[in-house]
Every structure is written in structure tokens, then in C-alpha cells.
Amino acid sequence: MLTFLQKIISSCNNILWSYVLIILLIGIGLYFSFKSKFVQFKMFKEMFRLLGEGASKSVTSNEKKGVSSFQAFCISTASRVGTGNLAGVAIAIAVGGPGAVFWMWLIAIIGSASSFVESTLAQIYKVKDKHGYRGGPAYYMEKALNKRWLGVLFSILITISFGLVFNAVQANTITFAFQEAFGVNRLIIGMVLTAAAGLIIFGGVKRIAKIAEIIVPIMAIIYILIALFVILKNITLIPSIFALIFKNAFGLQQAAGGFLGTLLMGIKRGLFSNEAGMGSAPNAAAAADVTHPVKQGLIQTLGVFTDTIIICSCTAFIILISGVYTQTKLEGIQLTQTALSSQVGSWGTTFIAVCILLFAFSSIVGNYYYGETNMEFIKGNRLCLLIYRFCVLGMVVFGSIAKIQIVWDMADLFMGLMAIINLVAIFQLAHIAFDALEDYIKQKKEGKDPVFYKNNIKGLKNVECWEETN
């Protein structure tokens, strides 16, 4: 039965990825880049300033209104920075060759403009709840497009994708990593993981924000430092590694899957990792308490850069420097473990196991939150939320013992469906985000700390959380 299901999912993935999604991701991303005058480059310095400002406010905030901008960044980064960065990159290189790394970079650079648009829209159309704020694609589909049915459809897809399917992927990677490092039974690890996740997700968004705020910066910094050590140790190989990536990317040095295989794997794993345009990060962005929607839009754009250009590249260079991807049949996280061990010794396998535990566990709680806020959109019912929580924990157990391929195929399919719906929606609403960006830049030029009012944008309707100026 599972084999039959996997064949159907794989066929749908081929059709979806080969045509529709690649055109939308690249085409709309380029359009947003030009319309925003390449906000991902122009406002790069401002992104870091805002992140630092958000981090300082996070320390002193009493969180009466909601989570801080830094905590919202950490929730979304917790979801982004997970198996895609360690296992996903390994799969992309093993199947698509070194050239897949180039396409991961490209989709991140182009997609960061899409991330800016969707996160800014989520801030504009957020609503108040008992925790502070919530929002995301479902909310701007309902309020800005007047299509609640589309919002409900998206909510169902993201709840299944992140709360259930993607969390199975995270659990799958954790258990394989620990099996490789310590020889521990995967089911035992899965049960421990499920219990730990249950303690956090039953604690609500504030507990999720606190956990993410602690885990994400620490795990990212340690992993980057280890990768830098490997790169510096092999600094003379770096020019040839770049040459290998670019030659392979354009079919000059073919991967096993050919040019199309390289392209597809790079974009698939890139989107799975950075989520730009998929409609997931806006759910975290909407929870932030900021004075202007563009502030959080810029901070979330930085998240795409952090995820792919920095952390995914660290994994890619470790694997390519080691060369083990050409000599082994290992899959996913085990390939990354073998690659690092070849450079730093046997403790590298254990280090990656611990790293993936922190990366993927933070992703589980971040993914859970995306499902919760969309369950609230569909119907704020305590019983439905309780059932959803137990389903999440059930999928963590399933992912812990399932085969690698089926969970990744399921993730790709639902990720693609989500991205198509969200990209079409934000394409129609992008002018609102660009108007907000112009307002932000104008206030900055006047020497002000930008503050947004809903009548700053002409004709803006159905906005709940932003007041009008007198």
C-alpha cells in the first residue's frame, strides 16, 4: 500500500515541479525583485539593524502584546533551519550533483523578495488573539482578496504540510542520525522525541517563542564555526569547489540526473530549506509586535539569507570538500555525518547527530505553531486543536520509523501545492507590500522611526491591527 502511495505521490511531484512551480518561483521572484528595486540587496544593512533592535527589545519586553520581532524571526528560523540544511542539502548533492547547490543559492536570492512581500502582507492583515497577534496567508487571502475559501484551503494544506508531513521528515532525520551515531533503536528515539515535543506544544506560542529564541542562535553559531574550521583547513580547495558547482549547474559537467535533475533537486531542496514564497514564515511574522509591517518583512527576508546562503552552504562545502558523495550510497543525514567525520574525526558523526537533534527539534515546534495558527483560522475550537496536537505527535512517531524516500516525497508534494496557492495570492497583493515599503523608506529619509497607519496606503481595507492617523 505504501509503495503504491509513493508512486502516486512521485508522479504528482514530477508534474508539479517540472512545469508549474519552477516557473512561478523564479518568474514571480524576479518580478518582485524588480518591483521592489531589489529590496533583498538595497535594505540588507537595515535588516541587520532591525534584527539587533528586535533582539534588544526581546530581552526587556513583557510580551503583553505578543512576541517580539526577534522571537518571531527565531520561530520562523526554527522551522527553516532543520533537516533541509543538513539532510536536504546532502540529498540534493547526492541526486542532483554539486550543481544543485547553485540552484539552491539562486532560489534563495530570488525568493527572498517573495519572502519580503508575504511577510509584510501578513503583518498588515494580522488579527488580535489571546496571545497577541496571529496571521499569515490564510488571513490576507480572506481579508485582502475576499476569498475565505482559498484561505481555508491554504490553512488545510499548511496544517497537513508542516504540522504533520514536515514533522515526520524532521523526526525521520533525527532518528537516522542517532542510529548512525549511537546505534540506538529509531523507535525509542522517536518516543523520547514525541514526549519532549508534547511538553512544549501544549505550552502555547509563548513557550515555543522562548524555546526558539534560545536554541536557534546557539545551534546556528556552533554549526557555522565547525563548518568554517573545515573550510579553512581546506582553503586551497575552495576555488575548485566553486568551479565544480558552476560547471555542474549548467550541465557542463553532468550529474547522474542530468541538467534537469540538477535544477529540480536544487530548487526542491532550496525551497524546502528556506521556504521563500511558500507561505509558512508569514505565520510567524504576523505574531510580531512592531511599529511598521516592513520591519518584520525585512527581518524575515534576512532569514532566507541566513538559512540558505550561510547554513546550507556550510553543509554543501563540508560534503563537497570531503568528496564522499561520489563514493557512498548513504542517504540524507548519514551522508553529512560521514562527510564531517572524514574531516574532523569520528566525533563528527556524534556532533551532527546532536546538531540535527537541535535543528530538527526546533523545527518540529516551529512547524507545529504554523498548523496551530491556521487551525485557529479555520475554527477556533479547543477539541479540534487537541486532536491536531495528538496528530502532530503521532506523525513524529511515524516519521521516526518510516523510510526516507516516502516522507521526503510527501513533503515535496504538499510544499509545492502550498507554494502555488500562496504565490498566486501574493502576486495579486504585492502592490500593497511595495506601497508599505515606499512609506517606510520615506519616513526613514525624514529621520523618523517608521510608524505605520492604515491610511498611509490609499484604499487599504479590512485591516484590524493598525490605527488611522488623525
More confident residue, 7 or 396: 396
More confident residue, 88 or 383: 383
pLDDT in tens, 408-435: 677 777 778 888 899 999 999 999 999 9
More confident residue, 368 or 470: 368
pTM higher than the cut 0.85: no
The segment with the largest mean pLDDT, out of 215-224, 246-255, 313-322, 461-470, is 313-322
* 127-133 average pLDDT score: 80
**β-strand pairing of 127-129 with 132-134:** antiparallel
Count of Cβ atoms closer than 10 Å to residue 236 Cβ = 7
pLDDT in tens, 56-90: 665 455 444 566 677 777 666 665 666 667 777 88
Angle at 456 between CA 454 and CA 458, to 5 degrees: 90
Quick one: which of 144, 145, 154, 96 has its CA closest to 320? 96
pLDDT at 212: 59
274: confidence class by pLDDT, cuts 50, 70, 90:
low
Quick one: which of 170, 171, 180, 94 has its CA closest to 353? 180
* 340-365 average pLDDT score: 78
Instruction: Give the rounded distance of the alpha carbon of 310 from its chain centre.
Output: 14
pLDDT, mean over the chain: 80
8: confidence class by pLDDT, cuts 50, 70, 90:
low
Q: Cα(351)–Cα(377) distance, rounded to whole angstroms? A: 40
Supply the DSSP string of 395-416, one letter for each residue: HHHHHHHS-HHHHHHHHHHHHH
More confident residue, 442 or 283: 442
- Alpha helices in 135-233, H assignment, sequence order: 137-143, 148-158, 167-182, 186-201, 205-233
Cβ-contact 120, 426 below 8 angstroms: no
Domains and CATH numbers, the chain: 51-57+65-448 (1.20.1740.10)
Q: Which three cell numbers stand for residue 352?
A: 551532527
pLDDT in tens, 232-243: 989 998 999 998
